[in-house]
Amino acid sequence: MTAIAHNAKRTTARDLYPSRTGGDYRLLPRRDPVACGSPADGPLDEASLDRYVRDGSLHLPGFFGQDAIAPLIEELECMRDDAAITRREEAITEPGSGALRSLFAVHLLDCATAELCRHPRIVSVARQILGSAAYILQSRINYKPGFHGREFFWHSDFETWHVEDGLPRMRTLSCSISLTENTAMNGPLMLVPGSHHSFLSCAGETPEENYKRSLKRQDLGVPDPAHLERMVEDGGLVNATGPAGSVTFFDCNVMHGSGSNITPWPRSNVFVVFNSVENPLSAPFNGLAPRPEFLAHRKAVDIPAPARREVTLL
């Protein structure tokens, strides 16, 4: 896979969601549908699809059984303790401690994770919501060990993917798969229902190779307190809690984050991001060089549609 050559120019595509252009924070209207498919296109019924459109997420506790995720848990521990893994460019370590924080492109590094990221029950939901064929834009494991797991501050994924990767439209979703139990106390994924219906254009400008800092601690592309408070007042907060094997699908523009883990219980999740093949990456909208391929895959390799008999949700 080859990234677009850097020519110090912005993409020629019209920027529907300008952000980090030197101005102040401001809310812009969302110009894309939240779901492009219908109940007839996949396993989600009308009520579930409506809930996803309304809230920007759909949480399914116990989606996978222990037998499905056991190989990943074993591999998770091996990769976390492998010094060769932490030296790879796909590995993001915590500032100060050097502990593994995130590992990207895991669907290319590990066979068990690759199978899970392409599991028919996940792909069928992604294709239904996106209303088209889909490919993996990004995958990662976020580690949050007991006592020392650091927070992931509030953000919209789309804001970063749009500005720094050139993702043009909001036709992308994430699927979070819990490898450990996620409780209200060990730093679970938190989401702001309804926040995806507007786009928060952020202040500031993006420096070269911002990802080297932002993946350890994100300072740009995050909401200001006033807008975040208003979003939470309007939509509330939800925790994506549940046993290992639980799954949360969430829209690329929903505001989300997670707190630090100071409990003894680790919290680790696999995230796989699906993008519509009809929404390919362009040059980044900030005019800088594209981020590395392991953060945003530019070759849209379609995942074949699952057979109907394979897509029963529960």
Residue 299 class from Cβ within 10 Å (0-12 exposed, 13-18 middle, 19+ buried)? exposed
- In angstroms, the Cα distances linking 115 to 10, 52, 68, 119 are 36, 25, 10, 6
For 158, other C-beta atoms within 10 Å of its C-beta total 25
Q: Which of 154, 146, 141 minimizes the C-alpha distance to 237?
A: 154
At residue 10, the pLDDT reads: 53
At residue 61, the pLDDT reads: 95
Q: Which CATH architecture has domain 45-301?
A: Sandwich (2.60)
At residue 3, the pLDDT reads: 32
At residue 49, the pLDDT reads: 98
At residue 11, the pLDDT reads: 56
At residue 308, the pLDDT reads: 52
- In angstroms, the Cα distances linking 199 to 8, 30, 194, 205, 269 are 26, 6, 11, 17, 26
At residue 148, the pLDDT reads: 81
At residue 12, the pLDDT reads: 61
Task: Give yes or no for a contact between 211 and 165, defined as CB atoms under 8 angstroms apart.
Answer: no
Task: Give yes or no for a contact between 220 and 213, defined as CB atoms under 8 angstroms apart.
Answer: no
- Look at residue 8 and give its three-state secondary structure: coil
Chunked into runs of 10 residues, the chain (314 residues) has average pLDDT values of 37 85 95 97 97 98 89 80 85 78 88 90 97 96 84 93 97 96 94 98 93 84 96 97 96 95 90 97 92 92 65 50
At residue 245, the pLDDT reads: 95
Percent helix, strand, coil in the chain, to 5, is: 25, 20, 55
Q: Which of 53, 180, 39, 44 minimizes the C-alpha distance to 123?
A: 44
Residues 6+ apart with CB under 8 A from 295: 104, 138, 165, 211
125 DSSP 8-state letter: H
